[in-house]
Amino acid sequence: MVGYLSSRGWQLHSQDNFSSLNDHDIDFQNRNTKVIVIRESAEIGVGDGTLGPFKAGQEVDVPRWVAEELVRSGIARWRDEDRLDLATLSKIHWRETIPTARQIPAVGTDFYQKMRRLLVDLKAQSRSDPSKGRDFEKAVQLTKDIVNCRIRKIVSLAAAPAQTEDVLTNLASEEKELYRALSGIIIDWRARMESPVMEA
């Protein structure tokens, strides 16, 4: 629960308005993405159907969970724009932490899902490769900085007049929920502060 103090006492806003991480993950896993085939393959059984056959160089559009299996099995690779690695995370960090940057840059709807997967992968790799342990620690710090920067900008957006959909398209799906929750709390608080009528 999120709370704030009002003339009527401690008011609570339920986090029921927020989707769970699991809900976001299910949406992410079932959203289609494209991968590039790097090794020819015969048809593959997927659920009740089949995919393929695949030819090297072919770009296929499949649900994320299928794409992950194709990549894991060495049949396909991620397109550069659909993959989050440490170098890309560092670029995002640089863009977010520029002192003069007040706008909130676009990171994509699935940014947090991709970021969590990067951290999980680096942590798993660090168990057998010490250099990946350093990469994992760096990624954790970059992640904290990015999240803190974006939270500050979202709070600023929520306190400003209603935003256009163009601005909100720069937010990841989890951030849109945060923006709407904060905006609702601020609108309610501002209305009560500016009201000429004393509450009983």
Give the residue extent of every domain in the chain. 32-77, 84-200
Q: What is the CA radius of gyration of the chain?
A: 22
Q: Do 32-77 and 84-200 come out as alike in CATH topology?
A: no
pLDDT along the chain (200 residues), means of 10: 43 58 80 89 80 87 88 88 89 87 84 93 90 91 95 90 78 92 89 74
Q: In whole angstroms, give the CA distance from residue 3 to residue 14.
A: 9
Distance CA 11, CA 170 (A): 31
CATH 3.40.5.50 assigned to domain 32-77? The reply is yes
**Overall fold of domain 84-200:** Methane Monooxygenase Hydroxylase; Chain G, domain 1 (1.20.58)
**pTM here?**
0.76
